[in-house]
Structure 1
Amino acid sequence: MGSFKRLAVYSLLLSFIRISSTLSILTPTQPIRDGTNETLVSAGGTFEAGFFSISNSKSHYVGIWYKSISPRTVVWVANREEPLTDSSGVFQVNSDGLSIINSRGGRIWSSNLSKTIEKPVVQLLESGNLVVKDRQNLESILWQSFDHPGDTFLPGMKLGRNFKTGQSLALTSWKNLDDPSPGEFSMGIDTHGLPQLVVTKGGSTVYRAGSWNGLSFTGTPTLNYSYMKFVFVLNEEEVFYENEILNSSILMRSRLTPEGYPFRLTWSNQKTSWDTHYSSNMDECENYGLCGANTNCNPRGTKVCECLTGFTAKSQDSNGSFGGCGRTTQQVCNKGDRFQKYEGKKLPDTSSSWYDKTISLRECEKLCLSNCSCTAYANLNISGGGSGCLHWFDYIMDMRELPEGGQDFYLRLLAGSELNIISSFHMTLAFSSCFS
């Protein structure tokens, strides 16, 4: 009986230790130490922050992960560029903000606050956002992890750019699945021309989700989910994209993989795994500029790469590599030019485009005709019947067929030979039908 009582007391003590190791806030007198069970947990218990290591690695990191999901799904890492090499680290907050201290007392990572805080406090929000506040003004966030994205995009985060401050928010992939240090790929908003969501490698675009058309990015399926809302804002001060979750019971995240693929995933309690709802590696036409300039990429066509009307292939080697297309004729544009309508397309690269939110599609056409450099046009926004104007100049890049959805696109055909080619083609069809 004595042994049973001792076992009960020991179990109760262990339970108390586990409970006491879960923190709701960090303060200067209450840091988190590696090698203990201490973690910071969000109010609803969705997220947890603390020290962790990956697989059998000796590297230690401070990060944020889903508390109740196994295996651990990490959504943010503080010291991804400088891991600790032992379990003697300390994660703390002081008047100058957050920092990670190694066994020698050196600071290996800091939040770098621009001003000192009299009474700093750190919270992990239910959104997965780690924030630093002053106890004297808890409504104001002085620093937040959402302003320093890793490889994961959570509801409530923003991707984009503040034109006034120059702050840019973009995802950066991990080096590999066992190494959270910055990898080769980044995903963010390219602000050249009409802003668009892109994935880059070494500064070069490798995948383009496209520009925002009022309903979705032009290169992605229509974003229609009952449990979430998609927000895109473009004005003189900033451009950003974010997701708002409407059903808090659903866990959703987007991740840029070490291979450069964006995935959108939701957690399934039934399967106890992550379900993929969208990924960019659907087919070869998702590779940016696969066919070159002035082409349409169609993965289901007899030829994947085809020249647009009025253009001919520049080169094509024995391996099927396509070098883009050039104008069939160099004739100067004139008032006889017309436009050919293409339907169901991912709109071309808009990094060299021009746009106007106010004019109609008819006005957009007239304006394009008045400028010999204008190659094509389309509606800027397709919601509510369509509005606004988007112009392309000189050449067309990275247009493709979409398996569903897509948008109308109007390509300029020069008067004379290009229009004659089309007329001749239709006459041939009509002549052939008379004898069939």
Structure 2
Amino acid sequence: MKAPSALFIYSLLSFLRTSTTLDTITPSQFIRDGETLVSADGSFELGFFSPGSSKSRYVGIWFGVSNDTVVWVANRETPLENLDGLFKVTNKGILVLLDSTNTTIWSSNTSRTAGNNINNPTARLLDSGNLVVKDGNTESPLWQSFDYPSDTLLPEMKIGWDLVSGLDRNLTSWKGTEDPAQSEISEGLDRGGLPQLVDKEGDNIKVRPGSWNGLYFTGMPWLRLNPLFKYEFVMNEKEIYYDYKIPNKSIFVRYVLNPSGIGQGFKWMDHTKSWEPVTTSQSDECANYAHCGAYASCNINKSPVCACLKGFIPKSPIDWNLADWSGGCVRGTPLGCNDGDGFLNYKGVKLPDTSSSWFDRNMSLKECEELCLKNCSCRAYSNLDIRNGGSGCLLWFADLVDLVVLQMDGQDLYIRVAASVLDHIGKNRHFGQKYQVIIIVCSAILLMVMLVLGLVFYVRRMKLRKEGLDIRCQNDYNNEDWKEDMELPIFDLITISNATNNFASSNKLGEGGFGSVYKTKQRVDCLIGVCATTLSMALLEDFFIFMKTLD
């Protein structure tokens, strides 16, 4: 009887394996197109996929709740062009992707040299989404996918340096939505000076979230501790890295560096079956690296957004006035080195680029200031860690670039300026304070005058009301006894004589066709029911006619 071929045995094993859910493979097993590894809790799957409408095939890992959300790709640069691929782990603990001719399309590199002591290697997909290769002799992984990120940062995945092995973990975006090959856009930790998180396109920094200050990256103050995320930054002699953890394992989150170079955080919403954005690395123009050039600050709430720091002037006034701020600013007054230089405190800012900085964990802020003053090359200083009132020392020895005024939190930065600049600012501040005092005193005097005038007017009005002017007359005019069509009222001679001061010539207003017109006294106006300071000419004329008829 003919012995079964190796391909038949592999096919049989694969058939048996598909009847149960597996999270682990050994050298005697493999994954072929259409089959998957599933983590123990079902959070992640590993298998073959084609992005979008592409027909190229890749081996990747995706979320169990969203199978079109790929978080890691093995053969990013070398896709398969058919469905005949096989994915397996070798006896030496190396993952390989084979095509139909048994040619290796992609393979992993072990974190340590694989030797003859490898015993029963396995490849297992963990509930974290990490694909780990181990042997039976140790718990340390021979290789893990978390050491070779694609475009996605998952919880517990590290971004940064393993200083022992020299491994640099960083994110690299896809070239396009249908091409997972590495683009020139990356995100990782820059180890020059104080390590800082940067997004690059090639060798050029595009976005700089900044250095870690104990609570968050200085340009991302919203990364504070919260119930959903726990952020961590580790810097010691063995490694420098940043990661985050999710206390609630039932929540699915991811951070993606997209092909446009923008980093975005997402959370899975089970009720809508969709990913909801929760953070972004670039929200406005001030997020663009060095948008305002050297020695300038960027404030998105100001117009224009760029402004030279105090004591500095535009390097090119013409370009600056044309809204080309890339040239930045220069000192208006040179430093005097040890001759009376001082520091201006800028509050609530994202610290400048730290690639040319120096730091010490144990120095106080006062010691930091003194050390900076002693070195003529020192440009600025700040606390290294802002927790518990601040600690440590951070010094800058190059131009201050990418300084941003934040809309929330931020920290203090002390910028070195010449003594004359401090004096000028001090005089302006003193003048401003005197000006404020003058304004306050004048305002108080004006308020008192208004109160006195108001009191005088009030007393005068009350006196007039007591005398029965205006309001009483108007009421009399509108009372029910008044009739619009009444005939001329008749008054006795004594009343009229009193009203005109006995027909005094000083009260005479003029003469009409029927006689003279006289001015009356105010109190009599009210008595006779007329709301004016003078009697109408027609009434007086009719009155005199009436008086003559009596004679």
Q: TM-score, normalised by structure 1?
A: 0.91
Q: How far apart in 1 are the matches of 2:248 and 2:184? A: 34
Match of 2:85 in 1: 89
| Pairing of 1:183-332 with structure 2 (within 5 A) | 183-220=183-220, 221-315=222-316, 316-317=318-319, 319-322=322-325, 323-332=327-336
Q: How far apart in 2 are the matches of 1:427 and 1:381? A: 33
In the TM superposition, residue 302 of structure 1 has moved relative to its aligned partner by 2.4
Q: How far apart in 2 are the matches of 1:25 and 1:238? A: 29
In the TM superposition, residue 236 of structure 1 has moved relative to its aligned partner by 2.2
Q: Is the 8 A contact 1:254 1:265 kept in 2?
A: yes
Q: How far apart in 1 are the matches of 2:382 and 2:62? A: 43
**Structure 1 stretch 23-32 or stretch 316-325: which is displaced more?**
316-325
Q: Which has the higher contact order (CA 8 A, sep 6+)?
A: 1
Please tell me the residue identity of whatever aligns with 2:43: T
Q: 2:391 matched to 1:387?
A: yes
In the TM superposition, residue 334 of structure 1 has moved relative to its aligned partner by 2.5
Q: Percent identity?
A: 50
Per-residue CA deviation, residues 289-308 of structure 1 (Å, 9 max, x unaligned), is 00100010001112211111
Q: How far apart in 1 are the matches of 2:161 and 2:410? A: 26
Q: Is the 8 A contact 1:184 1:258 kept in 2?
A: no
Give the secondary-structure state (helix, strand or coil) at the position aligned to 1:364.
Answer: helix
Q: 2:45 matched to 1:39?
A: no
Q: How far apart in 1 are the matches of 2:401 and 2:62? A: 39
Match of 2:169 in 1: 169
Give the secondary-structure state (helix, strand or coil) at the position aligned to 1:368.
Answer: helix
Q: Is the 8 A contact 2:378 2:395 kept in 1?
A: yes
Q: Is the 8 A contact 1:333 1:415 kept in 2?
A: no
Q: How far apart in 1 are the matches of 2:109 and 2:223? A: 40
Structure whose residues are more often strand by fraction: 1
Per-residue CA deviation, residues 159-202 of structure 1 (Å, 9 max, x unaligned), is 11122322111111100111100012110000000000110111
Q: 2:130 matched to 1:129?
A: yes
In the TM superposition, residue 19 of structure 1 has moved relative to its aligned partner by 5.5
| Runs of 4+ residues over 3 Å off in structure 1 | 16-19, 430-436
Please tell me the residue identity of whatever aligns with 1:102: D
In the TM superposition, residue 435 of structure 1 has moved relative to its aligned partner by 6.0
Where does structure 2 lack aligned partners over 5 or more consecutive residues? 1-14, 440-551
Per-residue CA deviation, residues 193-216 of structure 1 (Å, 9 max, x unaligned), is 000011011111111111110000
Q: Is the 8 A contact 1:378 1:391 kept in 2?
A: yes
Match of 1:374 in 2: 378
For 1:402, which of 406, 429, 442 is the aligned residue? 406
Please tell me the residue identity of whatever aligns with 1:253: R
Give the secondary-structure state (helix, strand or coil) at the position aligned to 2:248.
Answer: coil
Q: How far apart in 1 are the matches of 2:151 and 2:76? A: 11
Q: Is the 8 A contact 2:358 2:396 kept in 1?
A: yes
Q: How far apart in 1 are the matches of 2:335 and 2:139? A: 64
Q: How far apart in 1 are the matches of 2:16 and 2:166? A: 46
In the TM superposition, residue 320 of structure 1 has moved relative to its aligned partner by 1.0
Where does structure 1 lack aligned partners over 5 or more consecutive residues? 1-15
Q: Is the 8 A contact 2:36 2:47 kept in 1?
A: yes
| Pairing of 1:111-130 with structure 2 (within 5 A) | 111-113=108-110, 114-116=113-115, 117-130=118-131
In the TM superposition, residue 271 of structure 1 has moved relative to its aligned partner by 2.2
Q: How far apart in 2 are the matches of 1:222 and 1:30? A: 43
Q: 2:459 matched to 1:421?
A: no
Q: 2:363 matched to 1:359?
A: yes
Q: How far apart in 1 are the matches of 2:238 and 2:132? A: 24
**Structure 1 stretch 316-325 or stretch 52-61: which is displaced more?**
316-325
Q: Is the 8 A contact 2:356 2:398 kept in 1?
A: no
Match of 1:5 in 2: none
Q: How far apart in 2 are the matches of 1:253 and 1:400? A: 27
In the TM superposition, residue 276 of structure 1 has moved relative to its aligned partner by 1.6
Match of 2:99 in 1: 102
**Structure 1 stretch 419-428 or stretch 163-172: which is displaced more?**
419-428
Give the secondary-structure state (helix, strand or coil) at the position aligned to 2:139.
Answer: strand
Match of 1:3 in 2: none
Q: How far apart in 1 are the matches of 2:390 and 2:377? A: 24
Please tell me the residue identity of whatever aligns with 1:25: T
Q: Is the 8 A contact 2:159 2:243 kept in 1?
A: yes
Q: How far apart in 1 are the matches of 2:140 and 2:332? A: 61
Q: How many residues align?
A: 416
Per-residue CA deviation, residues 349-403 of structure 1 (Å, 9 max, x unaligned), is 1000010000111111111111111111111000111100111124210010112
Structure number with larger C-alpha Rg: 2
Rate the CA distance shift 1:210–1:84 in 2: closer, same or farther, 3 A.
Answer: same
Structure whose residues are more often helix by fraction: 2
**Structure 1 stretch 297-306 or stretch 283-292: which is displaced more?**
297-306
Give the secondary-structure state (helix, strand or coil) at the position aligned to 1:247.
Answer: coil
Rate the CA distance shift 1:24–1:331 in 2: closer, same or farther, 3 A.
Answer: closer
Q: TM-score, normalised by structure 2?
A: 0.73
In the TM superposition, residue 330 of structure 1 has moved relative to its aligned partner by 2.1
Q: Is the 8 A contact 1:21 1:39 kept in 2?
A: no
